[in-house]
Amino acid sequence: MLVLPRDGRMQDVRIPFGERDGTLFRAFEVENGLACGCICPGCRKPLNAANGGQKVIPHFRHVQSEDCVRGYKEGVRRAAVALIAARRGLTLPAFSRQVSATAVSGHSLFRDVSFQAAPVIGDSVKRFVDLGDVVAHAVVTASNRQLLVRIKVFSRAEHERYQRLLRIEASSVEIDLSGLTFDQINVPAAFERAVLSDPNTRSWIRSLRGEMLIKRAVDELGAEVIVYNAQWEQERTRLQAIEDERRVEQEAKAAEHAAALAAHRQTQLEAAEAQRANGIPVKEERGARERREELIVNQTLRAARDWGGQAVECSACCLLNPPGSEFCLFCTSEASTMTRILVPADIAATIHLRMRSSAKPDRSLRMASTLLVQPDPFT
Ligand SMILES: [Zn+2]
Ligand SMILES: [Zn+2]
């Protein structure tokens, strides 16, 4: 029974409620046809009741005009408001919101704000109250607090109306009946549930209680953020202090090392000077590799004999230095690192064999081509 009017909107010409003597009736509650004595709640023109057939859902139709849209809307809205007035209230929707606050560190703190759906029973219910720039379809008053109710019959944007309601210092709810079918409207129990209690048809436009809870949560989160920031700052300061301390230590170590190395270089120079004064080194007579191998063997045997097998090896020139040496006495390689090693007591028996396959003489020449100080000859 849908007709398509000239403007293209689909429109149900069936009217769910007829009005007689100020009361709304469903079509099955009155006589059939014109005998129903009902008028349209919208345009107030006479209605025909159609409740005769078995297959037809009881409804009203205009006797003449068929382009009245207000009949449907006014009837459903007034019937809904009448139910709220009869009960002096309705079930309020649940409320759920999450608030958050961000700390200095960028970390976010969250809090859920919610309360359950609950029925409200007022002291009185006023119908269709003009609030100036918006109409409340019902106003439920309970101990001096007012709840504004909007009944939505067609699905269309209510944004501007709700903006006006948000400026009013009272809680307001929307009951959305736009999803109801004609059949559901016609069944009193289904309609009553949709109007009074179905959680899916109601939502808050504005909840003063919700706003109060949100404000409280925001205040609490603000206090938490202050504590959180203070702890974070404290921890940051502590880590910074550790970092500073470590840097100072490292700098002191580096300075100490540089001073020790400078002193060592001075010692080397003096030793080299003394060796030159004594006519050492002797002029290279054999090949450089052979000479360097001899020096390595020389120092290894010295470690076994004179240093109790303890020595420190230079990673650059591969010459053994006395145990405890921090720097190499012989070369001036910047790449030199010193490693403690143990020399077996019987090394003399195998040292020449070992040297034959050793890369140390070549490595020594490559990394420390000249020695500043010559090891003392081993006798
Ligand atoms: Zn009408
Ligand atoms: Zn060295």
Name the closest ligand to CA 42: 1
CA-atom Rg of the chain in angstroms: 50
* Mean pLDDT computed over 135-156: 93
Count of other CB atoms within 10 angstroms of residue 256: 10
* Domain end residue (candidates: 190, 210, 230): 210
Q: What is the pLDDT of residue 6?
A: 43
Is residue 19 scored above 50 in pLDDT?
A: yes
Name the closest ligand to CA 44: 1
User: b/e for 83-96, b at 16 or more Cβ within 10 A?
Assistant: bbbebebbbbbebe
**Residues around ligand 1, an ion, CB closer than 5 A:** 40, 42-43, 68, 71
Number of structural domains found in the chain:
3
Q: How confident is the model at residue 3 (pLDDT cuts 50, 70, 90)?
A: very low
Q: What domain range is 151 assigned to?
A: 89-210
User: Does the residue 349 lie in any domain?
Assistant: yes
CA of 80 to the centre of ligand 1 (A): 18
Count CA atoms within 13 Å of residue 4 on its CB side.
1
Q: Tell me the per-residue pLDDT of 234-244, one tens digit each, with 9 for 90 and over.
A: 999 999 999 99
More confident of the two residues 180 and 284: 180
Is residue 313 scored above 70 in pLDDT?
A: yes
* Domain end residue (candidates: 145, 175, 210): 210
Q: How confident is the model at residue 249 (pLDDT cuts 50, 70, 90)?
A: very high
User: Does the residue 215 lie in any domain?
Assistant: no
User: Does the residue 161 lie in any domain?
Assistant: yes
* Mean pLDDT computed over 65-72: 83
In this prediction, what percent of the chain has a pLDDT beyond 90? 82
Instruction: Give CA separation, 249 vs 122, 253, 254, in Å.
Output: 76, 6, 9
CA of 39 to the centre of ligand 1 (A): 8
**How far is C-alpha 339 from the geometric centre of its chain's CA atoms?**
51
Q: How confident is the model at residue 55 (pLDDT cuts 50, 70, 90)?
A: confident
User: Does the residue 372 lie in any domain?
Assistant: no
Name the closest ligand to CA 19: 1
CA of 88 to the centre of ligand 1 (A): 29
Name the closest ligand to CA 14: 1
Q: Provide the token pair at 323.
A: 């145990």
Q: What is the pLDDT of residue 238?
A: 97
Cα(205)–Cα(211) distance, rounded to whole angstroms?
12
CA of 1 to the centre of ligand 1 (A): 16
CA of 347 to the centre of ligand 1 (A): 120
Q: Side chain identity at 241, as an amino acid letter?
A: A
One domain, residues 119 and 186 = yes
Q: How confident is the model at residue 190 (pLDDT cuts 50, 70, 90)?
A: very high
Weakest-pLDDT range from 6-20, 109-123, 139-153: 6-20
In this prediction, what percent of the chain has a pLDDT beyond 70? 95
SS3 state of residue 34: helix
More confident of the two residues 377 and 99: 99
Closest CA to 115 of 204, 220, 224, 222: 204
User: In sequence order, what are the beta bridge partners of 208?
Assistant: none
* Domain end residue (candidates: 193, 210, 227): 210
Q: Tell me the per-residue pLDDT of 112-142, one tens digit each, with 9 for 90 and over.
A: 999 999 999 999 999 999 999 899 999 999 9
Is residue 1 scored above 50 in pLDDT?
A: no
Mean pLDDT, the chain, integer: 91
One domain, residues 93 and 206 = yes
Name the closest ligand to CA 339: 2
User: Does the residue 240 lie in any domain?
Assistant: no
SS3 state of residue 283: coil
CA of 331 to the centre of ligand 2 (A): 4
Name the closest ligand to CA 370: 2
Cα(202)–Cα(176) distance, rounded to whole angstroms?
6
